[in-house]
């Protein structure tokens, strides 16, 4: 798009704390115009464009302007898209850990998952081969699926909605850690991990890494939940055992404060993140929210799960600096140092 207007802003605000920044007016080949916040200075007449990722630990950041589908599509394409076909068996793993309405930000926004379904179907995926699956931690799955509007979503798209607690579990062992993992995970060709991006009292933040823990049995989860250090090693082992997946971070609303439950509060971030690296995605979210550094992500990186070094993470789409705003941290979180 062509830059047809530039304004430099030197006064900070809660949603735009880092200055100076620039607001561009961009125009496409059809004459459509849109504003864009950037940190880099442009001149009128220059071209603004987004480059696709070149590395596997890249993270795409896309603002939701008017349409969830366009944001999800752009985020997915920036990291190389999904390698799917008509016969691809696809599992979508949102966060529905308890019964909550979408606007409370406790659970993944069904509009984000709906956009993912549209993207998959448009690219040839068969509805019969797509399932949404979750293991509800608190309360019953029926109430949680209904209140979070995932029953409505599954019915609208004619896809399966699976309660992982009722599936068969397979015992796997990695590096001395035994885990009981739902067989559904191993029966799929591709898994899309779709966490809601939140603060977390225990880990500092809840994102791609934490969301995957609910593919294990309740017994396993209760065992590792008691010890934060053990939880980190168990999550690392889990990622090494299970098939690779793509991570779509739902920050359409997001949570700040004493999350991940009812004591947190909506953050209204209007962002979609995407990555093939769960550590990198969570690290970028941590930086976006100015949440401060924790040892949790560094520990996961040392265990070989992904990249926590911000300087080595390729960020595509929106500029990371342009997306930063100060989120309320979880007070008293037991962080791993």
Tell whether 335 is covered by a domain: no
Tell whether 300 is covered by a domain: yes
Q: Are residues 20 and 155 in the same domain?
A: no
Q: Are residues 42 and 73 in the same domain?
A: no
Q: Which CATH number is 282's domain given?
A: 3.40.50.11440
Span 311-336, pLDDT tens digits: 999 999 999 999 999 999 998 654 43
Average pLDDT over every residue of 255-273: 94
Tell whether 228 is covered by a domain: yes
Phi, psi values for residue 151, rounded to 5°: -65, -45
- Does residue 138 have a pLDDT over 70? yes
Residue 332 pLDDT: 61
Q: Are residues 102 and 250 in the same domain?
A: yes
Tell whether 332 is covered by a domain: no
Residue 115 pLDDT: 98
Q: How does the average pLDDT of the chain come out, rounded?
A: 94
Q: Are residues 112 and 171 in the same domain?
A: yes
Average pLDDT over every residue of 247-262: 95
Q: Are residues 43 and 190 in the same domain?
A: no
Of the pLDDT bands very low, low, confident and very high (cuts 50, 70, 90), residue 202 is confident
Give 32's contacts (C-beta < 8 A, 6+ positions apart). none
Residue 295 pLDDT: 84
Residue 333 pLDDT: 52
Tell whether 101 is covered by a domain: yes
Of the pLDDT bands very low, low, confident and very high (cuts 50, 70, 90), residue 203 is confident
Q: Are residues 128 and 214 in the same domain?
A: yes
Span 119-135, pLDDT tens digits: 999 999 999 999 999 99
Domain boundary among 11, 33, 49: 49
- Does residue 337 have a pLDDT over 90? no
- Does residue 221 have a pLDDT over 90? no
Of the pLDDT bands very low, low, confident and very high (cuts 50, 70, 90), residue 293 is confident
Span 72-119, pLDDT tens digits: 999 999 999 998 989 999 999 999 999 999 999 999 999 999 999 999
| Alpha helix ranges (H) inside the chain | 68-78, 110-122, 141-147, 150-157, 183-186, 208-211, 218-225, 228-241, 278-288, 295-302, 320-323
What are the CA-CA distances from residue 214 to residues 162, 177, 232, 238 (Å)? 13, 16, 14, 11
User: Which residue did the predictor score with more confidence, 198 or 227?
Assistant: 198
Of the pLDDT bands very low, low, confident and very high (cuts 50, 70, 90), residue 201 is confident
Tell whether 331 is covered by a domain: no
Of the pLDDT bands very low, low, confident and very high (cuts 50, 70, 90), residue 262 is confident
Q: Are residues 3 and 133 in the same domain?
A: no
Please report, rounded to a whole number, the percentage of residues in the chain having pLDDT higher than 70: 98
Quick one: angle between helices 228-241 and 295-302, nearest 10? 40
Q: Are residues 290 and 301 in the same domain?
A: yes
* Residue range of the domain that includes 44: 1-49
Span 144-197, pLDDT tens digits: 999 999 999 999 999 999 999 999 999 999 989 999 999 999 999 999 999 999
- Torsion, Cα 288 210 198 149, to 10 degrees, reads 130
Q: What share of the chain is helix, strand, coil (3-state, %, to 5)?
A: 30, 25, 40
User: Which residue did the predictor score with more confidence, 2 or 201?
Assistant: 2
Please tell me the total count of domains within the chain.
2
For residue 233, cis peptide bond before it (omega within 30 degrees of 0): no
Q: Are residues 188 and 294 in the same domain?
A: yes
Q: Are residues 112 and 35 in the same domain?
A: no
Q: Are residues 106 and 22 in the same domain?
A: no
Tell whether 13 is covered by a domain: yes
Q: Are residues 38 and 79 in the same domain?
A: no
Tell whether 22 is covered by a domain: yes
| Burial category of 238 from C-beta neighbours within 10 Å (exposed 0-12, middle 13-18, buried 19 and up) | buried
């Amino acid at each position: 798009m062509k830059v047809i207007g530039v304004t430099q802003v030197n006064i900070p605000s809660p949603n735009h704390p880092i200055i100076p920044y620039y607001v561009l007016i961009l125009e496409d080949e059809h004459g459509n115009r849109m504003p864009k916040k950037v940190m880099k200075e442009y001149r009128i007449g220059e071209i603004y464009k987004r480059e696709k990722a070149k590395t596997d630990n890249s993270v795409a950041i896309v603002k939701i302007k008017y349409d969830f589908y366009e944001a999800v599509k752009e985020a997915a394409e920036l990291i190389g898209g999904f390698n799917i076909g008509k016969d691809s068996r696809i599992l979508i793993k949102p966060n529905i850990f308890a019964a909550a309405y979408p606007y409370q930000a406790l659970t993944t926004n069904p509009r984000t998952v709906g956009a993912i379904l549209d993207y998959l179907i448009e690219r040839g995926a068969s509805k019969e081969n797509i399932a949404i699956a979750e293991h509800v931690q608190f309360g019953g799955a029926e109430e949680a699926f209904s209140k979070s509007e995932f029953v409505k979503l599954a019915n609208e798209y004619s896809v399966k909605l699976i309660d992982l607690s009722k599936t068969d579990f397979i015992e796997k062992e990695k590096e001395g850690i035994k885990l009981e993992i739902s067989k559904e995970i191993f029966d799929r060709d591709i898994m899309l991990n779709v966490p809601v991006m939140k603060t977390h009292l225990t880990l500092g933040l809840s994102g791609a890494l934490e969301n995957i823990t609910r593919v294990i049995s309740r017994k396993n989860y209760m065992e590792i939940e008691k010890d934060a250090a053990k939880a980190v090693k168990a999550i690392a082992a889990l990622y090494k055992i299970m098939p690779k997946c793509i991570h779509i971070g739902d920050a359409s609303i997001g949570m700040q404060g004493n999350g991940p439950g009812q004591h947190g509060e909506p953050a209204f971030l209007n962002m979609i993140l995407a990555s093939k690296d769960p550590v990198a995605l969570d690290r970028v979210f941590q930086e976006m929210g100015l949440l401060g550094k924790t040892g949790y992500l560094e520990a996961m990186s040392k265990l070989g799960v992904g990249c926590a070094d911000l300087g080595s993470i390729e960020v595509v789409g929106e500029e990371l600096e342009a997306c930063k705003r100060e989120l309320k941290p979880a007070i008293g979180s037991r962080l791993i140092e």
